[in-house]
Copies of this chain bind each other. A is one copy, B any other.
Amino acid sequence: MTFTVRSAQTRAAILTAARQRFAADGYDRTTIRAIAADAQIDPSMVIRYFGSKAELYGAVSDVDLEVPDLSGEADAGTRYARNMIDRFEKGDNLAEAILMRAAPTDPSAAARMQAIFASQIVPSLRAAYPDDPDIEQRAALVLSQTVGMVYVRYILKIEPLASMDRDEVADALARSIRRHLTAPLRPAGRRE
Protein backbone atom coordinates (compact mmCIF):
# COMPACT_ATOMS: atom_id res chain seq x y z
CA MET A 1 0.00 0.00 0.00
CA THR A 2 2.57 2.55 1.03
CA PHE A 3 5.48 3.31 -1.25
CA THR A 4 8.90 2.27 -0.13
CA VAL A 5 12.03 4.15 -1.07
CA ARG A 6 13.12 1.76 -3.78
CA SER A 7 9.80 1.54 -5.52
CA ALA A 8 9.47 5.31 -5.56
CA GLN A 9 12.86 5.59 -7.22
CA THR A 10 12.16 3.23 -10.07
CA ARG A 11 8.71 4.72 -10.40
CA ALA A 12 10.31 8.11 -10.90
CA ALA A 13 12.86 6.67 -13.31
CA ILE A 14 10.08 5.24 -15.45
CA LEU A 15 8.22 8.54 -15.46
CA THR A 16 11.30 10.47 -16.47
CA ALA A 17 12.17 8.09 -19.27
CA ALA A 18 8.57 8.01 -20.46
CA ARG A 19 8.35 11.78 -20.54
CA GLN A 20 11.45 12.09 -22.66
CA ARG A 21 10.48 9.32 -25.03
CA PHE A 22 6.91 10.46 -25.50
CA ALA A 23 8.03 14.04 -26.02
CA ALA A 24 10.69 13.08 -28.53
CA ASP A 25 8.94 10.37 -30.52
CA GLY A 26 5.21 10.66 -29.89
CA TYR A 27 2.91 8.01 -28.53
CA ASP A 28 2.99 5.39 -31.26
CA ARG A 29 6.71 5.37 -31.92
CA THR A 30 7.50 5.18 -28.22
CA THR A 31 7.82 1.60 -27.01
CA ILE A 32 7.55 0.25 -23.51
CA ARG A 33 10.77 -1.59 -24.18
CA ALA A 34 12.61 1.64 -24.99
CA ILE A 35 11.31 3.34 -21.87
CA ALA A 36 12.39 0.36 -19.79
CA ALA A 37 15.82 0.38 -21.37
CA ASP A 38 16.23 4.07 -20.57
CA ALA A 39 15.14 3.46 -16.99
CA GLN A 40 17.40 0.39 -16.85
CA ILE A 41 14.71 -2.02 -15.74
CA ASP A 42 12.63 -4.77 -17.24
CA PRO A 43 9.73 -3.88 -19.57
CA SER A 44 7.35 -5.85 -17.39
CA MET A 45 8.01 -3.46 -14.51
CA VAL A 46 6.54 -0.62 -16.50
CA ILE A 47 3.30 -2.53 -16.78
CA ARG A 48 3.35 -3.52 -13.10
CA TYR A 49 3.77 0.08 -12.03
CA PHE A 50 1.38 1.74 -14.45
CA GLY A 51 -0.94 -0.96 -15.71
CA SER A 52 -0.56 -0.29 -19.41
CA LYS A 53 1.11 1.95 -21.94
CA ALA A 54 -2.01 4.07 -22.21
CA GLU A 55 -2.17 4.59 -18.44
CA LEU A 56 1.50 5.51 -18.30
CA TYR A 57 0.88 7.99 -21.05
CA GLY A 58 -2.00 9.42 -19.08
CA ALA A 59 0.14 9.78 -15.98
CA VAL A 60 2.75 11.66 -17.96
CA SER A 61 0.60 14.02 -19.98
CA ASP A 62 -1.33 15.79 -17.28
CA VAL A 63 -0.78 19.40 -18.18
CA ASP A 64 -1.20 22.35 -15.89
CA LEU A 65 -0.26 25.43 -17.86
CA GLU A 66 -0.04 27.45 -14.66
CA VAL A 67 -1.43 30.42 -16.50
CA PRO A 68 -0.90 33.32 -14.11
CA ASP A 69 -3.88 35.17 -12.71
CA LEU A 70 -4.58 37.82 -15.29
CA SER A 71 -7.49 39.56 -13.52
CA GLY A 72 -7.30 43.27 -14.01
CA GLU A 73 -3.98 42.89 -15.75
CA ALA A 74 -3.35 45.81 -18.08
CA ASP A 75 -1.16 43.86 -20.45
CA ALA A 76 -2.53 40.34 -20.15
CA GLY A 77 -1.33 39.25 -23.57
CA THR A 78 2.29 39.98 -22.82
CA ARG A 79 2.26 38.11 -19.55
CA TYR A 80 0.45 35.18 -21.11
CA ALA A 81 2.95 35.00 -23.96
CA ARG A 82 5.93 35.19 -21.66
CA ASN A 83 4.55 32.47 -19.45
CA MET A 84 4.13 30.18 -22.45
CA ILE A 85 7.58 30.77 -23.88
CA ASP A 86 9.17 30.36 -20.48
CA ARG A 87 7.50 26.99 -20.05
CA PHE A 88 8.80 25.66 -23.33
CA GLU A 89 12.24 27.15 -22.95
CA LYS A 90 12.75 25.48 -19.61
CA GLY A 91 12.49 22.17 -21.38
CA ASP A 92 11.77 20.05 -18.36
CA ASN A 93 8.02 20.49 -18.54
CA LEU A 94 7.61 18.00 -21.29
CA ALA A 95 3.91 17.36 -20.90
CA GLU A 96 2.94 20.15 -23.26
CA ALA A 97 5.32 18.91 -25.92
CA ILE A 98 4.00 15.39 -25.49
CA LEU A 99 0.45 16.57 -25.97
CA MET A 100 1.30 18.75 -28.95
CA ARG A 101 2.88 15.82 -30.72
CA ALA A 102 0.23 13.31 -29.85
CA ALA A 103 -2.92 15.35 -30.42
CA PRO A 104 -2.89 15.18 -34.24
CA THR A 105 -3.20 11.39 -34.24
CA ASP A 106 -4.61 10.51 -30.81
CA PRO A 107 -8.22 11.55 -30.18
CA SER A 108 -7.82 11.33 -26.41
CA ALA A 109 -4.88 13.71 -26.54
CA ALA A 110 -6.92 16.06 -28.69
CA ALA A 111 -9.71 15.95 -26.13
CA ARG A 112 -7.22 16.75 -23.42
CA MET A 113 -6.05 19.84 -25.26
CA GLN A 114 -9.65 20.89 -25.71
CA ALA A 115 -10.11 20.55 -21.95
CA ILE A 116 -7.02 22.61 -21.20
CA PHE A 117 -8.29 25.33 -23.47
CA ALA A 118 -11.71 25.42 -21.85
CA SER A 119 -10.62 25.10 -18.22
CA GLN A 120 -7.35 27.05 -18.15
CA ILE A 121 -6.92 29.38 -21.09
CA VAL A 122 -10.41 30.76 -21.54
CA PRO A 123 -11.06 31.51 -17.83
CA SER A 124 -7.70 33.17 -17.47
CA LEU A 125 -8.24 35.47 -20.42
CA ARG A 126 -11.82 36.11 -19.40
CA ALA A 127 -10.56 37.36 -16.08
CA ALA A 128 -8.45 39.93 -17.89
CA TYR A 129 -11.23 40.99 -20.26
CA PRO A 130 -14.43 40.33 -18.30
CA ASP A 131 -16.60 42.55 -20.49
CA ASP A 132 -15.56 41.24 -23.88
CA PRO A 133 -18.43 39.23 -25.39
CA ASP A 134 -16.11 37.66 -27.97
CA ILE A 135 -13.53 36.48 -25.48
CA GLU A 136 -13.92 32.81 -26.43
CA GLN A 137 -13.23 33.51 -30.05
CA ARG A 138 -10.30 35.68 -29.07
CA ALA A 139 -8.99 32.96 -26.80
CA ALA A 140 -9.18 30.44 -29.63
CA LEU A 141 -7.22 32.82 -31.84
CA VAL A 142 -4.67 33.24 -29.06
CA LEU A 143 -4.42 29.48 -28.81
CA SER A 144 -3.92 29.17 -32.54
CA GLN A 145 -1.03 31.61 -32.48
CA THR A 146 0.49 29.92 -29.44
CA VAL A 147 0.19 26.45 -30.87
CA GLY A 148 1.58 27.60 -34.20
CA MET A 149 4.59 29.18 -32.55
CA VAL A 150 5.31 26.03 -30.60
CA TYR A 151 4.86 23.89 -33.68
CA VAL A 152 7.16 25.94 -35.90
CA ARG A 153 9.85 26.84 -33.38
CA TYR A 154 10.03 23.86 -31.07
CA ILE A 155 8.81 20.97 -33.15
CA LEU A 156 9.63 21.77 -36.78
CA LYS A 157 12.54 24.01 -35.76
CA ILE A 158 12.16 26.21 -38.81
CA GLU A 159 14.59 29.08 -39.25
CA PRO A 160 14.91 31.88 -38.44
CA LEU A 161 12.31 31.27 -35.74
CA ALA A 162 14.16 28.32 -34.23
CA SER A 163 17.35 30.18 -33.44
CA MET A 164 15.95 33.52 -32.34
CA ASP A 165 16.57 34.10 -28.69
CA ARG A 166 13.75 33.62 -26.26
CA ASP A 167 13.15 37.32 -25.63
CA GLU A 168 12.72 38.06 -29.30
CA VAL A 169 10.35 35.15 -29.68
CA ALA A 170 8.41 36.10 -26.58
CA ASP A 171 8.05 39.64 -27.90
CA ALA A 172 6.85 38.48 -31.31
CA LEU A 173 4.35 36.11 -29.72
CA ALA A 174 3.18 38.79 -27.31
CA ARG A 175 2.59 41.28 -30.10
CA SER A 176 0.47 38.88 -32.08
CA ILE A 177 -1.51 37.72 -29.03
CA ARG A 178 -2.11 41.28 -27.89
CA ARG A 179 -3.63 42.02 -31.27
CA HIS A 180 -5.83 38.95 -31.11
CA LEU A 181 -7.08 40.12 -27.73
CA THR A 182 -7.70 43.76 -28.56
CA ALA A 183 -8.03 44.35 -32.32
CA PRO A 184 -11.54 44.63 -33.78
CA LEU A 185 -12.84 41.21 -34.74
CA ARG A 186 -14.98 42.34 -37.64
CA PRO A 187 -14.14 44.80 -40.37
CA ALA A 188 -15.75 48.15 -39.63
CA GLY A 189 -19.26 48.51 -41.02
CA ARG A 190 -20.21 44.88 -40.75
CA ARG A 191 -22.52 43.63 -38.07
CA GLU A 192 -23.22 40.14 -36.77
- Chain A residues in the interface with B (C-beta under 8 A): 25-26, 28-29, 100-101, 103-105, 110, 113-114, 117, 136-137, 140-141, 143-149, 151-153, 155-161, 164, 171-172, 175-176, 179-180, 183, 185-187
B28-A105 in contact (CB<8A): yes
Number of copies: 2
With A114-B156, A143-B158, A144-B148 known, 19 other A-B pairs at CB within 8 A are A26-B105, A28-B28, A28-B29, A29-B105, A103-B155, A104-B104, A113-B156, A137-B161, A137-B164, A140-B159, A140-B161, A141-B161, A144-B145, A144-B151, A146-B148, A147-B148, A171-B186, A176-B179, A179-B183
Chain B residue nearest to A187 in the complex (CB): B171
Main SS of chain A's interface residues?
helix
Chain B residue nearest to A140 in the complex (CB): B161
B117-A144 in contact (CB<8A): no
Chain B residue nearest to A105 in the complex (CB): B26
